[in-house]
Amino acid sequence: MSVVPPEALLITVAPTGAETSKAGCPQLPTTLEELVQTAKDCEATGAAMIHVHVRDADHKPTLDLGLLTATVEALHESTDLIVQLSTGGSVHDPLEARLKVLDAQPDSCSLTMGTTNFGDDVFLNPWPFVCELYQLSQERQIVPEFELFDLGQAHALVRLIDKFGLPFGGRVHCDFVMGVPGGMPGTADALVAGLATLPSEVTSWSATGIGRTTLPVALAALSKGGHLRVGMEDVLTISRGVPVESNAQLVERAVALGEMVQRRPMSTAEARSLLQIG
Ligand code: KMH
Ligand code: ZN
């Protein structure tokens, strides 16, 4: 990897997630209409990729294939954002349903590299599932983003690429998801250790810190020349005790942080070229 930080900053927005309830956070985009509006606002503010979890009519997380397909189509129609569907879903989703997400034909899919304790729950990603999902992404020509919740998962990526070769498109993009209770801490030290563990094939990476680790992780990632993921999936306060108003507000802050280190937001066309997504 180059020691010179790239000029442009890829900002991924993760607007919804599967953990926060609509009742507890009415500004969380949970309907298709809200998600599309959020996507447009975030694109206009500087995001180039969107990491999507969908909700049902009761605002509950779902992997309903019809809804996932309609969401991919609606986001493609109304924005130029790279549409990445979560294959992580919620901790309650069965592995079979998580594999089926690829049937919705997103540009990209998240692919978590191992099982993680997730608060009081377990986010299951057994090795055979990781291998099956990866091979399916290669077959379906969908570009994976490797989600790393722990250091061992960075090392597992070495093993995956050794076994099955490069992802579709030939680029290897990872995202460190830090500060989950049960995963690696959201610290600069952990990020540096994670970077040292990545396989040489990695071509780009981003990081996000959950909750109060958001800013320390963002600053560490920028210091190391990485890209950023932001959004209400990962954080619900903009400062101590102050709720986030919108996902665009978090994208706006990421743009401002990037500008401090002379990195402008990456356009959607540049992001497509970076990740080799047509
Ligand atoms: N909701 C978490 C259990 C992903 O999107 O791939 C898993 C998650 C990761 O959010
Ligand atoms: Zn997610």
Backbone angles phi, psi at 106, to 5 degrees: -75, 170
> What CATH number did the domain enclosing 127 receive?
3.20.20.70
Interface ipTM: 0.99
For residue range 39-57, list pLDDT tens digits in order: 999 999 999 999 999 999 9
Residue 6: pLDDT band (50, 70, 90) is confident
Q: How wide is the angle at C-alpha 19 spanned by C-alphas 117 and 265, nearest 5°?
A: 100
Query: pTM to 2 decimals?
Result: 0.98
User: What are the structure tokens assigned to 62, written together?
Assistant: 């779902």
Distance 137 CA to ligand 1 centre (A): 17
Res 270 pLDDT > 90: yes
Give the domain range for residue 42: 8-273
Q: Determine, yes or no, domain membership for 164.
A: yes
The mean pLDDT of 168-173, rounded to a whole number, is 98
Q: Determine, yes or no, domain membership for 106.
A: yes
Give the total number of structural domains in the chain: 1
For residue range 203-249, list pLDDT tens digits in order: 999 999 999 999 999 999 999 999 999 999 999 999 999 999 999 99
Which three-class secondary structure string do you get for 51-73? EECEECCCCCEECCHHHHHHHHH
Backbone angles phi, psi at 156, to 5 degrees: -65, -25
Pocket test of ligand 1: the residue of 20, 54, 84, 123 to mutate, having most ligand atoms within 8 Å of its CB, is 123
DSSP 6: P
- Which residues are bridge partners to 82 per DSSP? 49
Q: Which residues line ligand 1 (CB under 6 A)?
A: 17-19, 86-88, 90-91, 110, 112, 118, 123, 147
Q: In angstroms, rounded to a whole number, what is the distance separating the alpha carbons of residues 127 and 133?
A: 10
pLDDT (0 to 100) of residue 54: 98
Distance 88 CA to ligand 2 centre (A): 6
pLDDT (0 to 100) of residue 5: 67
Q: Determine, yes or no, domain membership for 278.
A: no
Q: Determine, yes or no, domain membership for 3.
A: no
pLDDT (0 to 100) of residue 135: 98
pLDDT (0 to 100) of residue 1: 52
Q: Determine, yes or no, domain membership for 50.
A: yes
Please state whether 109 falls in left (phi above 0), alpha (psi between -120 and 50) or beta: beta
- Closest by CA position to 56, among listed 67, 40, 41, 72: 67
